[in-house]
Amino acid sequence: MMPSSLAGHFLIAMPAMEDAHFRETVTYLCEHTERGALGVVVNRTMDVTMESLFGQMDIAVQDLSVLARPVRYGGPVSGQHGFVLHRSEGTWNSSLVVGKELTLTTSRDILEAAARGEGPSDWLLTLGYAGWGAGQLEEELAANAWLTVVADADVLFGTAPEALFDVALSRLGVSRLTLSAVAGHA
């Protein structure tokens, strides 16, 4: 039986997470169905710059503030593709609506608009995504690999990437100091 969808939640990696791709990460879950799940890691930045990405895509940047944004590591799948997580504003060619507030867009048109200063008010760009097959995320949750909490767009866009792990934990009333690498079941 499929539990309620966790789309629109943060997945917070527990200290025992062995996969280096996800150690100390916060992943925003964009889709969660009986067929699997898809999300983007939102608290890891990359050495790639917006300037180099826009240059590679031959997109002229008029709004120079765009260049100051960090490019985030979205996950180990399809790392050469960009995924824009943004407030649900505007109409874009290829988007997945994730509830009332947020949308995940994979089309070039949103980056062109952002470069002109005409994109959504809040957005972040990841390279790659995290994916789980049918039942895989549920198994990881049962094994205590992740904590979950309803995501908050203001926290997502208003918190520096390096602080998101601690802020997401605080939404549960815990800190990294109170987490144990050993989990049990009652």
Q: Tell me if 4 is assigned to some domain.
A: no
pLDDT tens by residue, 94-144: 999 997 899 999 999 999 999 999 999 999 999 999 999 999 999 999 999
68-80: buried (b, 16+ CB within 10 Å) or exposed (e) per residue?
Answer: eebbbbbbeeeee
By CB atoms closer than 10 A (0-12, 13-18, 19+), residue 146 is: buried
Q: Which amino acid is at 149?
A: V
CATH number where 91 lies: 3.40.1740.10
**What is the pTM for the complete model shown?**
0.92
Q: Tell me if 153 is assigned to some domain.
A: yes
| Residue among 129, 104, 137 nearest 36 (CA) | 137
pLDDT tens by residue, 69-104: 999 999 999 989 999 999 999 899 999 999 789 999
Q: Can you give the residue range of the structural domain that contains 162?
A: 9-178
Q: Tell me if 2 is assigned to some domain.
A: no
Q: Distance between CA 30 and CA 165 in Å, rounded?
A: 18
103 in Cβ contact with 96 (< 8 Å): yes
State the total domains in the chain.
1
Q: Distance between CA 147 and CA 135 in Å, rounded?
A: 17
The sign of the dihedral angle between the CA atoms of 71, 75, 79, 81 is negative
pLDDT tens by residue, 5-40: 999 999 999 988 989 999 999 999 999 999 999 999
Q: Tell me if 103 is assigned to some domain.
A: yes
